[in-house]
Amino acid sequence: MAGLSLKCGDCGVLLKSTEEAREHAELTSHSNFFESTEAVLNIVCTTCGKPCRSKTESDLHTKRTGHTDFVDKTLESAKPISMEVPKPDAELDEHADTSHSSQLEEMIVPEVDKKLLEELESMGFSLARATRALHFSGNASVEAAVNWVVEHEDDPEIDQMPLVPANTKVEAPKPTLTPEEVKLKAQELRERARKKKEEEEKQREREREKERIRIGKELLEAKRIEEEQERKRLIALRKAEKEEEQRAREKIRQKLEEDKAERRRRLGLPPEDPAAAKPSVPVVQEKKTSLPIRPATKAEQMRECLRSLKQNHKEDDTKVKRAFQTLLTYIGNVAKNPSEEKFRKIRTTNPSFQERVGSLKGGIEFLELCGFEKIEEGEFLFLARDKVEMAVLNSAGSELDSAIKNPYFGIL
């Protein structure tokens, strides 16, 4: 049976012709080839017609496009392989000479569609890769350029700027991917470019936030320094004002001294002796009495306090009597219930207490004579249980009763 393919003895791959064997040898450095009766697989997709040469290639096509129906046409396309290598004819020699001479021509970067180039760069492709893809895809479209990139991603010169002879137009190869594959790949690349842009935007936002924080800190520090300088300036200003005031006073004092000395000179008086001390206030000697002074009793102090209260508010007799009756009620409650704290504690801020007793001069003083003391910064008047003296309370009650009933109390 005639050979249907060439098989590489090093890696086992099947090749259709001697041309493919030569290319395989150049790429892999394999040199062990022999004829094989196995035909190269030709699995064709029934949906889009794409031929696949291996099960791996068909699986990759299914993964990319979702197509799952394939037809094996290996036997239909199988032909005996020719081992003869075609010899170059004169036309090929002439073409080779022309190619050799063209290498000596000037090499330039090919012209590509700038709009398509910008769109590819926005999708994340480098300038060299985008230019190469557009040039070799014929500037047809973004999809065609993406298709070319997909097929040549592993090329070593993929990221090198393409160069062509100045007067030569390179014919673009036709895309081999299906429209569906091109569309999916373009969508994938756009999504990748979108994510890259979002990540770059997030990074820029983080940098801007750091910059805002830094500027905020600098502003706060500048404000603190400014406030500190302002405080120092005010202190220095007050100090200067005090010194100026002191100097002004000293000038006034000197002027007064000079005026005083001038008046003495005009009156013919001798200059004042600065060492002579002048008595400030005449000392009044107290007259001594031979009679002993008897200290006022508690009852007399209470009577005098009530008399002073009536004298201070004699224009309103009703208010005075109401104050006396309120004081008598406070004293009577404590005398009857000395153990009850509520009768021994009075809130001075109470409106009723203020109206009846607190606002009248002498009312609170009378309660203090009875033993009440101000506590909690004067908010309460409190009479401690151990300081309750019934004799004092009875004396206070007698003085209040007399002040209420005696029509001449405080007048005589």
**What Cα–Cα distance (Å) separates residue 68 from each residue in 133, 150, 213, 338?**
30, 22, 57, 106
**What Cα–Cα distance (Å) separates residue 412 from each residue in 95, 153, 297, 345, 387?**
150, 124, 20, 35, 34
| Full-model pTM | 0.31
Q: How far is CA 289 from the centre of its chain?
A: 85
Q: Looking at residue 139, what is its pLDDT?
A: 82
Q: Looking at residue 163, what is its pLDDT?
A: 80
Q: Looking at residue 243, what is its pLDDT?
A: 92
For residues 125 and 19, what is the distance between their CA atoms, to the nearest angstrom? 34
Pair 384, 397: CB distance under 8 Å: no
Q: Looking at residue 202, what is its pLDDT?
A: 93
The residues of the chain scoring below 70 in pLDDT are: 1-3, 77-78, 81-105, 166-179, 182, 273-296, 410-412
Quick one: CA torsion of 240, 244, 250, 252, rounded to 10 degrees?
Answer: -160
Pair 372, 358: CB distance under 8 Å: no
**In the chain, domain spans:** 5-77, 104-177, 196-266, 298-405
**What Cα–Cα distance (Å) separates residue 208 from each residue in 196, 212, 213, 218?**
18, 6, 9, 15
Q: What architecture is domain 104-177? A: Orthogonal Bundle (1.10)
Pair 41, 52: CB distance under 8 Å: yes
**What Cα–Cα distance (Å) separates residue 245 from each residue in 231, 233, 238, 242, 248?**
21, 18, 10, 5, 5
Q: What residues form DSSP beta bridges with 52? A: 43
Q: Looking at residue 358, what is its pLDDT?
A: 86
DSSP code, position 17: S
**What Cα–Cα distance (Å) separates residue 144 from each residue in 74, 141, 163, 164, 174?**
30, 5, 20, 20, 9
Q: What architecture is domain 298-405? A: Up-down Bundle (1.20)
The model's pLDDT over 335-351, given as tens digits with 9 standing for 90+, comes to 999 888 888 999 888 99
Which amino acid makes up residue 274?
A: P
The model's pLDDT over 99-151, given as tens digits with 9 standing for 90+, comes to 544 445 677 888 888 888 888 888 888 888 888 888 888 888 888 888 888 88
